Structure 1
């Protein structure tokens, strides 16, 4: 199992175990909560809510061609999830790079953030913005369907 799925798998397993314990103690009503909360945490800490990631080199090439920003992120990052949620459907217009899967992406983030892997880092026209305001990033992207 790739490293990116370890935390979501742990959330799912812990939720199932907790629900089983509560159910075995005769409290099926209380067992429902872990069955709802823990899978939601698993999904939110996985790559599933994010658009498909590409490599940093491919993202730079595409960004140079279409002028859209590159978003460097990693699974489990609450700031990345906040950015993704605030962008809504417009998020698909950006080029997303998972720094856990792409060493070149991690190197680009370290270069932009003074040696740290602080995400989200947005790169637009060769300028880097570490943890930018989601409203500002949203304004950089075309409206959904307006590609």
Structure 2
């Protein structure tokens, strides 16, 4: 769990150090702007932008019931962030598993990717797809879109 927050915390700390130095030099407006940028970047790279993660076993069980894809992701992954942002509101319909919080999820990803923890890995109908196009993932949510 802590691993997911390392980058966001470091970004906020770095922004605070830079802002403190700018305040010390008398540039409070610039300091506020820099700190805001660092906080926004930290927020985008945090688990907060993603829908609530569940465990891999629970996600697979729910996917078997409702047919919706399971997305395995981790914080700080630019490809995961791209997928999340491009999916928009549709992202809430997927089952999200943070592999840094769930060892079972990391094991599923390694099994699907020849031992590598490559994310995002999307499981649809038992088949894994590494870094799929967000539009394709969105189509998998419709009843006629599944392969």
Q: TM-score with structure 2 length normalisation? A: 0.92
Q: Which residue of 1 is the match for residue 6 of structure 2?
A: 6
Q: Deviations over 1:3-56 (max 9, x none)?
A: 221211111111111111011111223212212110011111110000000000
Counterpart Cα distance in 1 of 2:4 and 2:136: 28
Structure 2, unmatched stretches of 5+, are 143-147
Partner residue in 2 for 1:46: 46
1:51-79 deviations in Å (ceiling 9; x for gaps): 00000000010000000000000011000
Once residues 88 and 113 of structure 2 are traced to their aligned partners in structure 1, the CA distance between those partners, rounded to angstroms, is 26
CA RMSD, aligned part only?
1.2
Aligned residue-pair number? 142
Q: Which runs of 5+ in 1 are unaligned?
A: 143-147
Aligned residue number for residue 23 of structure 2? 23
Q: Which residue number corresponds to residue 145 of structure 2?
A: none
- The aligned runs of 1:9-88 (5 Å cut-off) are 9-88=9-88
